[in-house]
Homo-oligomer: A and B are copies of this chain.
Amino acid sequence: MFKKTLEQVVTYEAGKPIELVMREFGIKPDEIIKLGSNENPYGSAPRVVEIIQKNAHKASMYPDDSMFELKNALASKWSVKSQNVIIGAGSDQILEFCMHALNHENACVLMAKTTFAMYEVYAKIANVEVCKTPSDEHKLEEFESLYRASLERGKRVSAIFLCVPNNPLGECLDSAAVESFIQKIGKDTLIIIDGAYQEFATYKDKAKAFSPSSLSAKYENVIYLGTFSKAYGLGGMRVGYGIADSKIIAMLYKVRAPFNITTLSLQAAITALQDQDFVVQCVEQNAKEMLAYESFARENGFSFIPSYANFITLSRAGLDSTHLCDWLLQKGLIIRNLASYGLNAFRITIGTKKQNERVFELLKAYGANHNHLSNHS
């Protein structure tokens, strides 16, 4: 009855929710720190919370499916037209639209070896071959070789995923380098520039900033993805967007179901866009706390990749990430084990100062209690 090819699709394992830790370990919600899913530790902007409360009575009413106001606000923010914008239930859903809409006949898709896990899941659902670069981190020359090699063996490349900055590793390509890369790729390949964490990268280094308006004006095979889930503090509301040439947007609209975001999500996103001060504060605070993590890592023998996002990926020779993450979970600290990515490493969302101090304390306590593990190296 179902597609045989689905058998190889592994259901994505989301970061563990607070509810699960409560249920499994009987820890009170107030004592649980969740730094496993890169949510905004400062919450949502107060005026977003207010607008949700004020509009709660509209829960029974479908949203304005034209998303007139939000699309206009995003178009204005990014200096594009409304027909260059599509809204998704998270930028995730735009990835899904792309994978459903693209012609994958005799094609493969390209991605970095270690990048956002959903790229591969959506590709497998669409039953398209996945080709990964040899390096964990994004290396454009490897993408280029992979692209040429695919064409040489008679395969089309239907899509290339670039995660800038890259989740879960944190590194970020320069936008100028990406633009040079785009020019080497044929027009039949959709280049997906996933900017879910762009606000953090841009703050740290202007060379990482992408211009969706310039990209969508110049290239008819590029889509830029943004989200409200991270710097904008709306992870639970599921709102993201894609910006591209209007012909791409029109095709993606064909695979979009109506009412794909909630009435309150629409209101929340419109309001969140109006409060740029909140976003700036969160991004600034994130940068400060990132420095604390880097110092901690250096002082305690952890390796890390300099991160352009709101998380940091750490590892230490001889330390088993699965053992560590399970131990931390029992103490009420949720971080992300990268074992499912094939790495003996762990990703921590940069939390508030108070949360981070607790993280450092626990990591030190773990080290003191599990010295024998460090001796394995």
Using CB atoms and an 8 Å cutoff, list the residues of chain A in contact with chain B.
1-4, 6, 9, 11-12, 14-15, 17-20, 23, 34, 37, 39-40, 42-44, 48-50, 52-53, 56-66, 68-69, 89-90, 92-93, 96, 100-103, 118, 122, 125, 158, 187-190, 221, 229, 233-238, 251, 253-265, 268
Minimum CB–CB distance from A33 to chain B (whole Å) comes to 12
Residues in B with CB closer than 8 Å to A65 are 14, 17
- B62 near A17 (CB under 8 angstroms)? yes
Q: Pick the contact of A254: B9, B43, B44, B48 (CB < 8 A).
A: B9
Most chain B CB inside 10 Å of its own CB: which residue of A23, A68, A100, A122: A100
Minimum CB–CB distance from A258 to chain B (whole Å) comes to 4
Given the known interface contacts A103-B1, A125-B254, A259-B238, the answer about A61 and B39 at a Cβ–Cβ threshold of 8 Å is yes
- A255 near B125 (CB under 8 angstroms)? yes
Nearest-neighbor residue (CB-CB) of A58 within chain B: B236
Minimum CB–CB distance from A309 to chain B (whole Å) comes to 16
- B258 near A59 (CB under 8 angstroms)? no
- A60 near B2 (CB under 8 angstroms)? no
A271 CA / B33 CA spacing, docked (Å): 26
Residues in B with CB closer than 8 Å to A102 are 1-3
A265 CA / B42 CA spacing, docked (Å): 21
Nearest-neighbor residue (CB-CB) of A282 within chain B: B60
Given the known interface contacts A89-B89, A264-B237, the answer about A17 and B60 at a Cβ–Cβ threshold of 8 Å is no
Given the known interface contacts A14-B259, A264-B264, the answer about A48 and B59 at a Cβ–Cβ threshold of 8 Å is yes
Residues in B with CB closer than 8 Å to A234 are 59-60
Minimum CB–CB distance from A60 to chain B (whole Å) comes to 4
Q: Pick the contact of A236: B17, B60, B118 (CB < 8 A).
A: B60
- B66 near A12 (CB under 8 angstroms)? no
Query: Can you list 8 A-B contacts (CB < 8 A)?
Result: A1-B188, A6-B251, A12-B258, A20-B64, A43-B59, A60-B233, A89-B257, A100-B125
Residues in B with CB closer than 8 Å to A187 are 1
A268 CA / B262 CA spacing, docked (Å): 12
A254 CA / B118 CA spacing, docked (Å): 12
A198 CA / B263 CA spacing, docked (Å): 24
- B89 near A260 (CB under 8 angstroms)? yes
Minimum CB–CB distance from A294 to chain B (whole Å) comes to 25
Minimum CB–CB distance from A357 to chain B (whole Å) comes to 21
Residues in B with CB closer than 8 Å to A64 are 17-20
Nearest-neighbor residue (CB-CB) of A93 within chain B: B257
Nearest-neighbor residue (CB-CB) of A61 within chain B: B236
Residues in B with CB closer than 8 Å to A256 are 11
- B66 near A17 (CB under 8 angstroms)? yes
Beyond A42-B60, A60-B236, A89-B260, list 16 extra A-B contacts (CB 8 Å). A1-B103, A2-B101, A4-B103, A6-B101, A11-B256, A14-B258, A20-B66, A39-B62, A40-B60, A43-B60, A49-B56, A52-B264, A59-B236, A63-B236, A237-B262, A264-B264
Minimum CB–CB distance from A282 to chain B (whole Å) comes to 10
A321 CA / B69 CA spacing, docked (Å): 29
Which 3 A-B pairs rank lowest in CB-CB distance, beginning with the nearest? A236-B263, A14-B65, A17-B64
A226 CA / B42 CA spacing, docked (Å): 36
A343 CA / B35 CA spacing, docked (Å): 54
Nearest-neighbor residue (CB-CB) of A220 within chain B: B1
